[in-house]
Every structure is written in C-alpha cells, then in structure tokens.
Amino acid sequence: MIDEAAAALGAAGRVVVFTCAGISAESGVPTFRDDLTGLWARYDPEQLATPEAFDTDPDLVWGWYEWRRARVRQASPNAGHVAVAAIEARVPGSVVVTQNVDDLHERAGSTAPIHLHGSLFAPRCAASAHPAELPESAAASDGGRIEPPRCTECDALVRPGVVWFGEPLPEAALSAAVDACGDCDVLLTVGTSGVVYPAAALPLIAARAGATVIQINPDRTPLDDVCTFNLRGTAAQLLPALVRSAF
C-alpha cells in the first residue's frame, strides 16, 4: 500500500500535509491523548486549554504552557518533520497545515506552516491581543504555577498565543487551509485522532474535492473511512519511506 500511496504523492502537483500531535510524539512532545505527567498528571488538557481555566487560575495555566514550552525547547524535529520539509522542497506550492503549537516544523526547515491552533512562542496581551515578549527562560521542570507576565501597554495579563477550546480559529489561517484542501491532488494527514473541529473536517474537504487522502497513524481513527490509504505506523518511520518511494 505504501508504494501505491507513494505513486499518488509522486504524481501530485498540489499537496497538503496536515499534521497533528502524533508527528511530534517521537520528538518527546506528549500528544493530547497521552496522560500528562508529574504535577500535571491530575489535569485534563482539554480543561486546562480553555479561557475559563485561565480566568479561574492564570498561574496554573501559564505554568502549564511554560512547562510545555520547556519540553519543546528540549526536543528536536524527528525524521517525520524532516520528510515534510522534503515534500515541500520536491512539490513547489505544497502547503503544510498543523494543529501543533510547537515549532518543530520550522526547525526542520518548513517555510511557512499554517498553525491553525496558534503557537507556544507568540504570547499576547489577554485584553488587547497586543504581541508580548516571551519570558527569558521557560520553566525548566514541573514548575507548577507561574504568574503570567503583564502587558507593557495596558498592564493586563499576558496569555499564551494559542487557540483554546471554545475560541474561534484565526480566520486567515482557517480559510487558507480550507482553500488549499479544496484544491489539492493529495492530502497527507499525519498523527491526528480526528476529533477536534473544525480542523478534523479538513481531510473530508479534500476527499470531497476528489483528492487522494493518505493517513499515517499507528491506530484507527474516525478518518479511516474518508482516506484512500490508511498506513499503520508512526510518522518518523513511514513519512521518510513514503518520500523515498515517491521521489
């Protein structure tokens, strides 16, 4: 099956690579399905990643994002991220769309991945959305609660530059992603559980537009029936093999 999928990828003029938490798992960045560890073990990520949680306990939520930022800083892109950058190099005009808030695609050489859910490296004022400076060092360990910095303009709290549950996605990013998916020959979906919307609808948009949809995931997901090829395995194993066979 990987050779058939590779043939479709090799023949494609317009490719969308849609990546999610699974592609960063082999870099040591926990997915949302993985249980949180240490101090965070007793929290549900979907509870912490909400405006309500930040209103209730900003130090807890800021501490959690600083802990995640420290983990990403310590991590390195894996062969999956590198293969995505290789696809971009081989297929001009290909688009990388990610749900991830880490910067591993950029560190692997991807030019301008579309971050649907924001970034750990773009804090902003919680009141005016004015961009804010990142504190010097991210919390080194399970630092727990950390008081968020204050906005230099209006002294309001600074919040992480991510999209929380219940918040709308950045319009420009979402419409660029929807347009690219509605007009591609091949969409590669890598390491998503396919449950978080509206992002999870993107492979469906591509399939309905007649694209070949290739899924890479060690497990079954709700996207299986939408996909032309379901490749069971990990991103760092299968993406390089797919690229080698396609180009």
Task: Tell me: is residue 245 an annotated ligand-binding position.
Answer: no
Q: Which backbone phi and psi does 154 adopt, to 5 degrees?
A: -125, 5
Strands 212-216 and 186-190: parallel
Decide if 81 is catalytic. no
Contacts of ligand BV8 in 115-154 (CB under 6 A): 117-118
**Total binding residues for ligand BV8 by CB under 6 A?**
35
| Of 20 and 154, CB closest to ligand BV8 | 20
Determine the distance from the C-alpha atom of residue 128 to the mean position of all C-alpha atoms in its chain, rounded to a whole number: 25
Q: In the set 218, 228, 241, 245, which binds ligand BV8 (CB under 6 A)?
A: 218
Task: Tell me: is residue 193 an annotated ligand-binding position.
Answer: yes
Which residue in the list 81, 105, 115, 117 is annotated as catalytic?
A: 117
Assigned token pair, 22: 């699974």
CB burial string 82-113: b at 16+ within 10 A, e below: bbbbbbbeebeebbbbbbbbbbbbbbbebeeb
Dihedral sign for Cα atoms in the order 63, 69, 71, 74: negative
Q: In the set 27, 94, 221, 230, which binds ligand BV8 (CB under 6 A)?
A: 221
CA distance 127 to 152: 12
Segment lying near ligand BV8 (by CB under 6 A), choices 15-23, 55-63, 69-77, 148-156: 15-23
Q: Which residue is nearest to ligand BV8 (CB)?
A: 22
Does 31 participate in binding ligand BV8 (rule CB under 6 A)? yes
Does 61 participate in binding ligand BV8 (rule CB under 6 A)? no
| Of 23 and 186, CB closest to ligand BV8 | 23
In angstroms, what is the minimal distance from the CB of 212 to ligand BV8? Answer: 19
Q: Which residues contact 64 (CB under 8 A, 6 or more apart)?
A: 40, 43, 48
CA distance 158 to 130: 9
- The helix (H) or strand (E) run that includes residue 115 is strand 114-115
Q: In the set 147, 219, 224, 225, which binds ligand BV8 (CB under 6 A)?
A: 219
In angstroms, what is the minimal distance from the CB of 180 to ligand BV8? Answer: 17
Please report, for residues 20, 21, 29, 179, the alpha-carbon distance to residue 64 in angstroms, rounded to integers and kept in the order given.
20, 17, 13, 34
Does 216 participate in binding ligand BV8 (rule CB under 6 A)? yes
Residue 126 DSSP symbol: T
Task: Tell me: is residue 230 an annotated ligand-binding position.
Answer: no
Does 4 participate in binding ligand BV8 (rule CB under 6 A)? no
Q: In the set 17, 86, 95, 101, which binds ligand BV8 (CB under 6 A)?
A: 101
As annotated, the active-site residues are 117
User: Interface residues with ligand BV8 (CB under 6 A)?
Assistant: 20-22, 25-26, 31-33, 46, 49, 99, 101, 117-118, 162-168, 191-193, 195-197, 199, 216-219, 221, 234-235
